[in-house]
Amino acid sequence: MFSKSPGPIGIFDSGYGGLTILHGIRQLLPQYDFLYLGDNARAPYGPRSFEVVCEFTRQAVIKLFEMGCHLVILGCNTASAKALRTIQQNDLPRLDPDRRVLGIIRPTAEVIGSLTENRHVGVLATEGTIKSESYNLEIRKLWPDIEVSGVACPFWVPLVEYNEADSPGADYFVKKRIDELMRKDPAIDAVILGCTHYPLLMPKILKYIPKGVRIIPQGEYVAGSLQQYLERHPLLEQKCSRGATVHYLTTENPEKFKEQAQIFLHEPVEVENVVLG
């Protein structure tokens, strides 16, 4: 059904935030080919049901497999929270048991134990990721002594995508959610940015986060985890082509994607339109 030849590493996101994950991975592993797919026409995934997110994510994974990817990273916290396990357990054995789909919540959970002294951690994320409690569950499995508190930040993604991250209006929404999180647990000393858009709000986040609280964006930790994963799985690594290229696909208007991608990558991109489902 799918090509057996080496192909690019696929990175999927519902929107543009996964570009921060792609950037982190390319910084560490520039030798590989990458294929980025944004389901921008149906974003955001955060408020959608588990069933809908699963179906949309499954369609994207199949598309990336059809385009030659043997490994797909769900560069989206909502898809990782709501769809990853179902795809790994139910779909991969049927589609192709030799292909792999990985998420971005586990890599962050793996390192958090070394990044908190108080053992109190906060998560700022979309409504879907917070409701799923995926960070709580993953962290508890690995670090049962860590207390996790989360707050949903529904307006943060639009602030980034409408290029308002630096505007005075962003201050209100960023401060409001950080204050809410710190009221929940004043002992928090590390905060995970559990949405790939949020690093673009970093100047505002650093402005309002209490002194001494560490901010943890995901890009570098996902990249390090992927590097280790490929080292542990040499047969899969050999199926990842090495041409140092990156191609972009979107379900939206390609011109719109180009404009938005500039906000995240600060470089021009070429993008094609694809249809899912």
The catalytic residues are 76, 195
Q: What is the dihedral of CA 136, 138, 142, 147, to 10 degrees?
A: -10
**Are 85 and 250 in contact, with CB atoms under 8 Å apart?**
no
Q: What is the dihedral of CA 220, 272, 39, 265, to 10 degrees?
A: 30
Q: Write the CA distances from 84 to 50, 58, 180, 196, 217, integer angstroms.
A: 11, 9, 29, 16, 20
Phi, psi dihedral angles at 47 (to 5 degrees): -80, -5
Name which of 8, 3, 127, 10 is nearest 59 in CA terms: 10
Residue positions counted in the chain: 277
Tokens of 47: 């408020």
Cross-strand pairs, 240: 7
Name which of 190, 159, 163 is nearest 176 in CA terms: 159
Name which of 93, 100, 105 is nearest 233 in CA terms: 100
